[in-house]
Amino acid sequence: MKKRSVLYTWVIEFSILLILMAAMCVTLTLSARRKLLDEYTEITIQQQEKIETALNNSMSQIKTDAINLACNNVIRSFSLLSTPMPSDNYTFYTIQSLLAAPGSSRSAVSETYIYFRNLKKALTSETVYEKETLAAVLFGSGSEAGKRFDSLRTTSSLFRVVSDSSNGVTQVMAVTSIPTQGRSPTALIIQVLDMQVLGEIVAGQATMEGTTTLLMDGGGQLLCESGNPALAGQLVQMAAEKRLESHVELGNKSYYLLQKQLEEENWTLITLVPVSAITRKSNWVWQQSMVFLMEFLAVGVVAVASMVQLNYQPLRELTRSLPIKSDCAENQNEYQQIDGAFQVYRKDLERMQIFQENQRVSLQKELMQNLLEHDIDVSALSGDIASWIGIDSWGEWFVLLLLKDEGLDFSEPLTEKVTLLPVQPHGVPTLCMFAKEEMDLRQCLGLMEAYLKENGVDYYAGNVRCGWKQIHPAFLSLCERSEFAQEQLERSGAPTPSFAQRITVAQGAEIARLTFAGNAEEAIRTLRHTMQTNFSSPPDMFLLRMLLTDVLVAMFNAVSPGEQGTEVQQAIVATSRALQKAMTHAEAEEQMDTLIGAVAVKYTSPAETDQPELLSRILQCVQDHFCEHDFNVSRAADLLGLSVAYLSKYFKQQTGVNLLNYLNSLRIDYAKKLMDEEQITVAEAADRAGYESANTFIRLFKKYAGDTPGNYNKH
């Protein structure tokens, strides 16, 4: 009876299992088609997203190349010329070399045109097109082509994609104007896309068997297709008739249709999935499910018996693959070993977090020191960089304190609402205090002053200010205040720190007067004499920058209005920025001497009459002697029997280029040629190109070549 009951139980259980398996087969078959349809839809969506990503990546590369061309100084400067002179024709070759240079999008662009409004011509890497010829190339012949091109060139845009089929062939153009916004464009960058490459991008991502994928523009024109060309033609016709639905009948066959709008280019991506493929696969599920389930029943017992081993095997492999093991791993089981490894990883993570925090504090101090020392554009301090460094939560209100002593402990904040940051710009101990609210900052400033007085620390406190742009001016103003306090303390007999005297307004005005009178030598001599008279010993670099800045301010204020005055003011501002980067007295004095000489030349009239062959003599002289270390504008003037002022002004009038800039560009080009052909070092290239100082060579190389000579030589 027990055997029968056991057998009966087994039979019942087995029968129930078979019934459940049969029901599962039926359910699986019925749901297979719906599941397959969902999977096909999901795969198609993923495929379309991949195509969109590939197209966006390609368009991003094209856009990057276009923006790089639009931002190029040579192209922008040339486009802004109202009437280009014959001397500007050499710029053609520079622009064509830029177009011929390999870029990230060269494979996707068949041709790149740059149309200049001032020339009414377009350049490619090899050819120059007239306006009418370019319109015919892009839009076909006829008057309509000119109108379409005029509409294209008069619209400002950063980057837009235009498709056209007027000449019988569909082509896609990426258009970028110069400037990219605002007034009417002075130049136009037109990149004609390679339709074959566009088709390869779509075909490369449309990998699902049996599907047909189309890419259409906003006007319903077919750009490219992958799959069945006949279906593509029928679908284009249906799209023109606006008969596209999610389920369509084409050629007595049913298809599922999925559309995706590519917003950036205003294109439409359409994919056709045949219903027959889904039906065929669902029938296969019905046929194979029964076999699979029966086999599953046969091996069920074996599967249950081996389940433990199958689950334990991955765990054991994971334990063996652990790179970090504890000392007592021999006496631990696998779960304990994995837990020990995670503990080690957790400690490593904590150490990394401590390192990152120390690095963040170091970056905060470095950033603040640069803001105090230099006039930096703070607009770049927003976003992810400011958030990662941790300065976005400091607030806009700040106050600076100059301390006589360093080494005080500011690790304990006086209040959570105020951030303290001690730095040493130019070696001057400075405490920066930041807060979001003015009242909180003033309260904390009072507490800090009490703390400093309690510890007997001499200090100079600045005014409470708002805005990060005020940090550098506040530091300079505080340095001036500290000098005033120095004089007050000296009169009272109290011990004071030794701050040096600044250049007076009268002295700066005298140097400016001599400079604008064209007497560069006397202006430089007066500057040297003032430095020697005002100071018993040479000032440090920080003070020297402040002193020379006083002179620059006096020169800036003395500039007369007009186009020439604007150029001089720009040169003064550029020299002021260069002074902040000067590392030695010699560099700073050289920059000031160069500026004074250049400004004096602008206000000096030539005393001689131009000679017809003079320009060729100058060019030949520079070509013969530019590699000599002692060759400069003054030496060239001596060799030619001319004054320095007249030589510089004559050369600028004839060529539009400053003679010193021409000499430096000639030397840099020669150095690049040497490094390309002979693989020499940077120091040797500088020496052979006529530079005694490698630092001067590196600075000028970066200015004229756009990169350091080390990087250029490396690549």
The model's pLDDT over 198-208, given as tens digits with 9 standing for 90+, comes to 888 888 877 77
Q: CA–CA separation, 187 vs 184, rounded Å?
A: 9
Q: Give the per-residue SS3 of 593-655.
A: HHHHHHHHHHCCCCCCCCCCCHHHHHHHHHHHHCCCCCCCHHHHHHHHCCCHHHHHHHHHHHH
Contact in structure between 496 and 490 (CB atoms under 8 Å): yes
Q: CA–CA separation, 236 vs 214, rounded Å?
A: 9
pTM over 0.75: no
Beta bridge mates, 434 = 398, 419
Q: CA–CA separation, 202 vs 232, rounded Å?
A: 14
DSSP, res 185: -
Residue 485: its pLDDT value, please?
43
* Predicted confidence (pLDDT) at residue 677 exceeds the cutoff of 50: yes
Confidence of residue 484 (pLDDT cuts 50, 70, 90): very low
What three-state secondary structure class fits 500?
coil
Q: Report the candidate in 292, 281, 296, 288 with the shortest Cα–Cα distance to residue 35.
A: 281
Q: CA–CA separation, 255 vs 239, rounded Å?
A: 15
* For the chain, percent of residues with pLDDT exceeding 90: 3
Contact in structure between 545 and 475 (CB atoms under 8 Å): no
What three-state secondary structure class fits 641?
coil
Q: Report the candidate in 271, 273, 278 with the shortest Cα–Cα distance to residue 48.
A: 271
Rounded mean pLDDT, 46-65: 84
Confidence of residue 122 (pLDDT cuts 50, 70, 90): confident
Residue 610: its pLDDT value, please?
44
Range of weakest confidence among 77-81, 403-407, 593-597, 598-602: 403-407
Q: Two tokens at 424?
A: 């040493």
Residue 472: its pLDDT value, please?
84
Instruction: Name the residue with higher pLDDT: 287 or 402.
Output: 402
Instruction: Name the residue with higher pLDDT: 147 or 435.
Output: 435
Encode pLDDT of 191-200 as tens digits.
888 888 888 8
Q: Can you tell me which residue has the tokens 């494979």?
A: 107
Instruction: Name the residue with higher pLDDT: 529 or 306.
Output: 529
Instruction: Name the residue with higher pLDDT: 418 or 39.
Output: 418
Q: CA–CA separation, 152 vs 146, rounded Å?
A: 10
Residue 208: its pLDDT value, please?
75
Beta bridge mates, 249 = 254
Range of weakest confidence among 336-340, 482-486, 522-526, 567-571: 482-486
- Name the average pLDDT for the chain: 76
Instruction: Name the residue with higher pLDDT: 196 or 298.
Output: 196
Q: CA–CA separation, 218 vs 267, rounded Å?
A: 5
What three-state secondary structure class fits 199?
helix
When mean pLDDT is compared over 95-99, 106-110, 175-179, 626-630, the highest value belongs to: 626-630
Q: CA–CA separation, 491 vs 485, rounded Å?
A: 10
**Can you say how many angstroms the Cα of residue 581 is from the centroid of all Cα atoms in its chain?**
22
Contact in structure between 514 and 523 (CB atoms under 8 Å): yes
Helix (H) or strand (E) holding 398: strand 397-403
CA torsion through residues 408, 412, 415, 417, sign: positive
Q: Which of left, alpha, beta for 418 (phi over 0: left; psi -120 to 50: alpha)?
A: beta
Q: Crossing angle of helices 334-373/471-492, nearest 10°?
A: 60
First to last CA, the chain: 91
Q: Two tokens at 532?
A: 């020697």
**Can you say how many angstroms the Cα of residue 332 is from the centroid of all Cα atoms in its chain?**
52
Q: CA–CA separation, 324 vs 319, rounded Å?
A: 10
Residue 690: its pLDDT value, please?
92
Q: CA–CA separation, 462 vs 477, rounded Å?
A: 8
Rounded mean pLDDT, 7-18: 59
Q: CA–CA separation, 595 vs 590, rounded Å?
A: 9
Q: CA–CA separation, 686 vs 680, rounded Å?
A: 10
Task: Give 411-480 as a DSSP string.
Answer: -S-S-TTEEEEEE-GGG--EEEEEESSHHHHHHHHHHHHHHHHHTT--EEE---EE-GGGHHHHHHHHHH
* Predicted confidence (pLDDT) at residue 321 exceeds the cutoff of 80: no
Q: CA–CA separation, 243 vs 232, rounded Å?
A: 14
Q: How many residues does the chain have?
A: 715
Q: CA–CA separation, 385 vs 203, rounded Å?
A: 40
Q: Give the per-residue SS3 of 329-396.
A: HHHCCHHHHHHHHHHHHHHHHHHHHHHHHHHHHHHHHHHHHHHHHCCCCHHHHCCHHHHHHCCCCCCC
Range of weakest confidence among 107-111, 147-151, 280-284: 280-284
Range of weakest confidence among 134-148, 367-381, 500-514, 590-604: 500-514
What three-state secondary structure class fits 195?
helix
Residue 292: its pLDDT value, please?
66
Residue 282: its pLDDT value, please?
61
* Predicted confidence (pLDDT) at residue 407 exceeds the cutoff of 60: no
Residue 434: its pLDDT value, please?
93
Cβ neighbours for 644, distance < 8 A, ≥ 6 positions apart: 597, 601, 633, 634, 637
Distances (CA, A) of 159 to 152, 188, 246: 12, 11, 33
- The phi, psi pair for 376, rounded to 5°, reads -105, 140
Confidence of residue 414 (pLDDT cuts 50, 70, 90): low
Contact in structure between 385 and 397 (CB atoms under 8 Å): no
> CA dihedral in degrees (284, 286, 292, 298; nearest 10)?
-150
Instruction: Name the residue with higher pLDDT: 37 or 89.
Output: 37
- The phi, psi pair for 269, rounded to 5°, reads -110, 125
Q: Report the candidate in 697, 703, 702 with the shortest Cα–Cα distance to residue 667.
A: 697
Helix (H) or strand (E) holding 269: strand 267-274
Q: Two tokens at 186?
A: 């002075």
Q: CA–CA separation, 122 vs 116, rounded Å?
A: 6
Range of weakest confidence among 311-320, 398-407, 421-430, 702-711: 311-320
Rounded mean pLDDT, 585-597: 83
* Predicted confidence (pLDDT) at residue 75 exceeds the cutoff of 90: no
What three-state secondary structure class fits 110?
strand
Strand order in the sheet with 171-178: 128-130, 121-123, 109-116, 187-193, 171-178, 160-164
Q: CA–CA separation, 712 vs 715, rounded Å?
A: 5
Helix (H) or strand (E) holding 259: strand 253-262
Range of weakest confidence among 77-86, 402-411, 492-501: 492-501
Burial bucket for residue 567 (CB in 10 Å: 0-12, 13-18, 19+): middle
* Predicted confidence (pLDDT) at residue 552 exceeds the cutoff of 50: yes
DSSP, res 193: E
Q: CA–CA separation, 606 vs 165, rounded Å?
A: 60
Distances (CA, A) of 672 to 103, 277, 646, 700, 701: 21, 62, 31, 12, 9
Q: Two tokens at 167?
A: 């000449």
- The phi, psi pair for 178, rounded to 5°, reads -125, 115
DSSP, res 631: -
Q: Two tokens at 695?
A: 């630092």
Instruction: Name the residue with higher pLDDT: 270 or 252.
Output: 270
Q: CA–CA separation, 301 vs 291, rounded Å?
A: 17
Spell out the domains of the chain, with CATH numbers in brackets: 1-298 (3.30.450.220), 394-479 (3.30.70), 505-602 (1.20.272), 614-714 (1.10.10.60)
Contact in structure between 435 and 418 (CB atoms under 8 Å): yes
Encode pLDDT of 488-528 as tens digits.
444 444 333 333 345 556 677 778 877 887 777 778 888 88
Confidence of residue 3 (pLDDT cuts 50, 70, 90): very low
